[in-house]
Structure 1
Amino acid sequence: MEVIRYEQKEDHLLIESTNGVIKITPYTSSIIRIRYTLEKEFSLKESLMVEQDAQELVDFSVHETDSVIVFSTSNVQIQINKQTSAFTYTDSSGQILAKEPERGGKTLVPVEVVTSVFDQHTEIQNSQSVDGARAKAIPSKQVVDRTAYHTKLEFEWSDDEALYGLGSHEEGILNLRGTHQYLYQQNMKAVVPVLVSTKGYGVVVDSYSLMKFHDDMYGSYIWTDVDSEMDYYFVYGPNFDQIVSSYRHLTGKATLLPKWAFGYVQSKERYKSQEELVSIIKEYRKRQVPLDAIVLDWQSWTGNLWGQKSFDPERFPNPTQMMHNIHDLNAKLMVSIWPIMNNDGPNHVEMKQKGYLLGNQATYDAFREEARNLYWKQANEGLFSHSIDAWWCDCTEPFEADWTGKVKPEPEERLRINTEESKKYLDPGFINAYSLLHSKGIYEGQRQTTETKRVVNLTRSTYAGQQKYGTIAWSGDITANWETMRKQIADGLNFCVTGVPYWTLDIGGFFVSKKDQWFWNGDYQDGCEDLGYRELYVRWLQYGTFLPMFRSHGTDTPREVWRFGEPGTMFYDTIVKFIKLRYRLLPYIYSIAGWVTHQDYTMMRTLAFDFRNDLKTHNSKDQFMFGPAFLVNPVTEAMYYSNKSVEIEGASKKRMVYLPFGTDWYDFWTNERISGGQQMEAAADLETMPLYVRSGSIVPFGPDIQYSTEESTDPLELKVYKGEDGSFTLYEDEGDNYNYEKGEFSTILIRWEDEENRLVIEKRQGSFHGMKSTKELVITLINGREDRISSSYNQRKVIYNGEQMIIQFS
Structure 2
Amino acid sequence: MNIIKTLMVGAFSMTALTMAAAEVQQNGNKVMVKPDGGQAKVICLEVMNDNIIRVRATSESALPVKKPSLMIVPQIAPAKKNYTISEDEQSVIVKAKNVTAVVNKATGAIVFFDATGKQLLKEAKDGKKFQNFTVPEREYGVRNIGGVTEEMKHGLTWQMLFDSPSDEAFYGLGQHQSEEFNMKGKNEDLFQYNTKVSIPFVLSNKNYGILWDSYSYCRFGNPNDYLQLNRAFKLYDRRGKEGHLTGTYVDKNGKKVVRDEDSIYYEYACPPTSEIANKTDNGGLKNLPKGFNLQGATVTYEGFIEPECCGRCAKAGKNEKQLYQFILYYAGYIKVYIDGKEVVPERWRTAWNPNSYKFSTELTKGKKAQLRIEWQPDGGDSYCGLRVSQPRNKTEREQLSIWSEMARDMDYYFIAGQNFDDVISGYRTLTGKASLYPKWVLGFWQSRERYQSSQDIEDNLAEFRRRHIPIDNIVQDWNYWNLPDWGAHDFEASRYPNPQAMLDSVHAMHGRFMISVWPKFYDTTEHYKELDEKGWMYRQAVKDDIHDWLGFRGSMYDAYDEGARKLFWKQMDDHLYSKFNKNGVPGIDAWWMDASEPNVRDCTPMWYRKALCGPTALGTSTEYFNAYSTVNADAIYNGQRSVWKGKANEPRVFLLTRSGFAGEQRYSTATWSGDIGTRWEDMRAQMTAGLNYSMSGVPFWGMDQGGFCVENRYVAAQKLFNETGEENEDLKEWRELQARWNQFGAFIPLFRSHGQWPTREIWNIAPDNHPAYKSFVYYDQLRYRLMPYMYSMAAWAHFKDYTLMRALVMDFNGDKEVENIGNQWMFGPALMACPVGYYKARNRSVYFPKQCGWYDFYTGEHYDGGQHLVVDAPYEKIPVFVREGAIIPFGPAMEWCDEKPAELINLYVYEGQDGSFQLYEDEGTNYNYEKGKYATIEIAYNDADKTVSFGKRNGAFKGMLKNRRFNVVLVKKDQPRDLNLDNPEGKMVQYSGKAVSVKL
**Please, what TM-score do these two structures have when normalized by structure 1?**
0.90
Amino acid aligned to 1:24: L
Q: Which letter does structure 1 place at the counterpart of 2:589? A: D
Q: Which of the numbers 582, 587, 595 marks the counterpart of 2:796? A: 595
2:683 matches 1:485: yes
CA distance in 1, matches of 2:173, 2:685: 15
Residues 766/145 of structure 1: CA separation in 2 closer, same or farther (3 Å cut): closer
Residues 166 and 634 (structure 1), Cα distance of their counterparts in 2 relative to 1, 3 Å cut: same
Per the alignment, residue 801 of structure 1 pairs with 992
Quote the Cα distance in structure 2 between the aligned partners of 1:794 and 1:724. Answer: 22
* Conserved 8 A contact 1:260-1:292: yes
Alignment match, 1:88: 111
In structure 1, what is the Cα distance between the partners aligned to 2:699 and 2:502?
A: 32
- For residues 325-351 of structure 1, the C-alpha deviation after alignment (integer angstroms, 9 at most, x for no partner) is 110100011000010101422322322
Which of the residues 26, 37, 43 maps onto 1:22? 43
Per-residue deviation, residues 567-586 of structure 1 (Å, max 9, x unmatched): 33211111101111111111
Give me the whole-angstrom Cα distance separating, in 1, the residues matched to 2:926 and 2:160: 43
Q: Classify the secondary structure of the residue corresponding to 1:749.
A: strand
Checking the alignment, whether the CA contact within 8 Å between 1:665 and 1:692 is kept in structure 2 is yes
Are residues 1:609 and 2:810 paired? yes
Q: Distance in 2 between matches of 1:424 and 1:392?
A: 25
- Rounded to whole Å, the distance in 2 between the matches of 1:201 and 1:330 is 44
What does residue range 566-577 of structure 1 map to in structure 2 within 5 Å? 566-577=767-778
Matches within 5 A, 1:440-451: 440-450=634-644
2:831 aligned partner = 630
User: How far apart, CA to CA, are the structure 2 residues paired with 1:531 and 1:606?
Assistant: 31
Task: Specify whether residues 533 and 140 from structure 1 end up closer, same or farther in structure 2 by C-alpha distance, changes over 3 A only.
Answer: same
SS in structure 2 opposite 1:300?
A: coil
Question: Which of 883, 895, 916 is the aligned partner of 1:727?
Answer: 916
Is the contact between residue 106 and residue 152 of structure 1 (CA under 8 Å) also seen in structure 2?
yes
Give distance in 1, aligned partners of 2:979 and 2:803: 35
SS for the counterpart of 2:623 is: helix
1:673 aligns with 2:862: yes
Judged with a 3 Å threshold, the aligned counterparts in structure 2 of structure 1 residues 326 and 500 are, in CA distance, closer, same or farther, namely same
Q: Hey, what's the Cα distance between the residues in 2 that align with 1:540 and 1:782?
A: 29
Offset, 1:415? 4.6
Query: For 2:944 and 2:135, how far apart are their aligned partners in 1?
Result: 66
CA contact (8 A) 1:584 1:704 kept: yes
* C-alpha distance in 1 between matches for 2:694 and 2:994: 36
Residue 142 of structure 2 aligns with which residue?
118
Per-residue displacement from partner, 1:613-632 (whole Å, max 9, x unpaired)?
11100000101111000111
Distance 1:507-1:715 versus aligned 2 partners, 3 A rule: same
Where does residue 770 of structure 1 map in the other structure? 959
The match for 1:503 is: 701
Greater shift in the superposed pair: 379-388 or 261-270: 379-388
Q: Are the equivalent residues in 2 in contact too, given 1:705–1:712 (CA < 8 A)?
A: no
Give the whole-Å Cα distance in 1 for the aligned partners of 2:756 and 2:31. 56
Alignment of 1:457-536 (within 5 A): 457-514=655-712, 525-527=716-718, 530-536=731-737
Q: Deviations over 1:670-714 (max 9, x none)?
A: 100111110001110111200000110000001110000101576
CA shift digits 1:142-189 (9 cap, x unpaired) = 988442100111011110010001100111211001110011111111
Residue 373 of structure 1: aligned partner: 566
Indicate the residue corresponding to 2:96 in structure 1. 73
Q: Map 1:684-723 to 2 at 5 A.
A: 684-711=873-900, 715-723=904-912
Out of 454, 461, 466, which is 1:274 matched to?
454
User: Structure 2 residue aligned with 1:561, among 762, 773, 780?
Assistant: 762
Which residue type is aligned with residue 46 of structure 1? P
CA distance in 1, matches of 2:948, 2:519: 52
Which residue, 600, 605, 624 being the options, matches 1:430? 624
Q: Secondary structure of 1:100's partner?
A: strand
User: Separation in 1 of the partners of 2:557 and 2:97?
Assistant: 46
Q: Which residue of 2 aligns with 1:259?
A: 439
Equivalent in 597, 600, 603 of residue 397 of structure 1: 597
User: Which residue is equivalent to 2:59?
Assistant: 38
Deviations 1:699-742 (A, max 9, x none): 00011100001015762111111111000000000000111011
- Which range is displaced more, 429-438 or 557-566? 557-566
How many residues were matched structurally? 762
1:544 maps to a residue whose letter is G
Aligned residues: CA RMSD: 2.3
CA contact (8 A) 1:310 1:379 kept: no
Once the two structures are TM-superposed, the CA of residue 208 in structure 1 deviates from its matched residue by: 0.5
The 5 Å alignment of 1:177-576 reads: 177-214=184-221, 217=392, 220=399, 221-360=401-540, 362-385=555-578, 386=580, 387-399=587-599, 401-403=601-603, 415=606, 418-419=609-610, 421-422=612-613, 426-450=620-644, 452-514=650-712, 525-527=716-718, 530-576=731-777
Distance (Å, rounded) in 1 between the aligned partners of 2:890 and 2:984:
20
TM superposition shift of 1:64: 3.6
SS at match of 1:511: coil
Q: 1:141 Cα deviation (Å)?
A: 10
Secondary structure, aligned partner of 1:341: strand
Deviation track 1:397-426 (CA, whole Å, cap 9, x = no partner) reads 12364438xxxxxxxxx6555445445664
**Amino acid of the structure 1 residue aligned with 2:132:** P
2:13 is aligned to none
Matched residue SS, 1:209: coil
How far apart in 1 are the matches of 2:78 and 2:658? 34
Q: Answer with 228-237 or 48-57: which moved more.
A: 48-57
Per the alignment, in what secondary structure is the counterpart of residue 126 of structure 2?
Answer: coil
Distance 2:964 2:147 in 1: 69
Distance apart, 1:107 and its partner CA: 1.6
> Normalization by structure 2: what TM-score?
0.74
Task: Work out the CA distance in 2 between the residues paired with 1:712 and 1:35.
Answer: 52
Q: From the superposition, tell whether residues 713 and 10 of structure 1 become closer, same or farther in structure 2 (CA, over 3 Å).
A: closer
- 1:647 aligns to what? none
User: SS of 2:450's equivalent?
Assistant: coil
1:125 maps to what in 2? none
Distance 1:334 1:245 in 2: 30
SS across alignment from 2:642: helix
Could you list the runs of 5+ residues in structure 1 that have no partner in the other structure? 123-138, 405-413, 515-521, 640-651
Partner of 1:173 in structure 2?
180
Q: Aligned letter for 1:81?
A: N
In structure 1, the residue matched to 2:257 is: none
SS of aligned partner of 1:348: helix
- Tell which structure's C-alpha radius of gyration is larger: 2
Does structure 2 retain, via aligned residues, the 8 Å contact 1:253–1:600? yes
2:115 is aligned with 1:108: no
SS of 1:105's equivalent?
A: strand
Q: Structure 1 residues 806 and 117, CA, compared in 2 at 3 Å: closer, same or farther? A: closer
CA displacement 1:585-618 (0-9 Å, x = unmatched): 1110000000000110000111111011111000
CA contact (8 A) 1:668 1:691 kept: yes
The secondary structure found in structure 2 opposite 1:736 is coil
